[in-house]
Homo-oligomer: A and B are copies of this chain.
Amino acid sequence: MTEKDDRWMSSITEIGPNKINVRGYPIEDLMGNLSLAGVLGLLVMGELLPPEAERVLDAVLVSSCDHGTSPPSALAARIAASTGASLSASISAGILSINRHHGGAIEGCMRYLLEVDDRVDNAEIKPEDAVAAVVEEYGRARRRIPGFGHRLHSQDPRAVTLREILAEQNLYGRHMEALYLTEAALKEESGRDLPLNVDGAAAGALLEIGFPPEAGNVVFIMSRVGGLSAHVAEEIIRERPMRVIDPRSAGYDGPGERRLDRGNDP
């Protein structure tokens, strides 16, 4: 078709009168049948995720929804909001703070896991030997393996739960395996506990469902929009403009611990 020469092409969504087909699927079919997680999977991968993978992705998205007042993204969003920035500008200030050092450990750990995987595939060695070799290489290059250790959590509840959900959905595979082999190798190497954190577990989960490392930050950014919005709203409602936002002096005065009781629902 000669017309194509003059046009640039997109393969994401086909738009026509009363037609919105996302990666080919009519939007009205997606609504009610897929969660936002499922649609994110469709947008990133180009194909539908199996329902088990969609559930895993939804759990990853939930796992990083907020981490209180201390993350840089929450502080940047609050600072912008306290000067009178709009909602979208405040959220953008937050998202601009999601990069290699904040959120980026997901992608970093995914790349580490793919290095291990390459080694297993190409050198035909056992996973534990591949892990040992790559851990040793990182150590020699004085590179930290992203996704292990946490300033606050000695056993990150999000990592533990992601592991369980992957097992439940029959998606606990070689990447998750490699994470726990890495945990053991790091302990042996350093003598210290560097337990798997939420970023590492998310990295394993995303690889198990077929996501590429480039999509690691996409997941984290979507995950945090709700939390950032809550911080922006709270800053506007509860605080005076231009206050000094001191991250060291924040307290919590929300509801005490309560349990979810939804039976098997939803």
Chain A residues in contact with chain B, CB under 8 A? 3-4, 6-40, 43-44, 46, 48, 51, 54-55, 58-59, 61-63, 65-70, 72-73, 75-76, 79-80, 82-93, 95-104, 152-158, 160-162, 164-165, 168, 214-215, 217-218, 221-223, 225-227, 229-231, 233-234, 238-239, 241-260, 262, 265-266
Q: Is the CB of A7 within 8 A of B89?
A: no
A-B contact pairs, 9 of them (CB 8 A): A14-B252, A18-B157, A20-B157, A27-B63, A27-B157, A43-B230, A83-B100, A84-B99, A90-B96
Q: How far is the CA of A255 from the CA of B36 in the complex (A)?
A: 20
Q: How far is the CA of A148 from the CA of B126 in the complex (A)?
A: 52
Known: A46-B255, A76-B93. 17 other contacts (CB 8 A): A13-B227, A14-B252, A25-B258, A27-B158, A28-B157, A28-B158, A30-B65, A43-B226, A44-B233, A70-B244, A72-B79, A85-B88, A85-B99, A86-B86, A89-B89, A101-B242, A215-B233
Which chain B residue lies CB-closest to A164? B32
Task: Kindly list chain B residues whose C-beta atoms are within 8 Å of the C-beta of A266.
Answer: 33-35, 38, 51, 54-55
Partner of A7 from B90, B100, B162, B250 at Cβ < 8 Å: B250
Q: How far is the CA of A22 from the CA of B258 in the complex (A)?
A: 10
Which chain B residue lies CB-closest to A6? B249
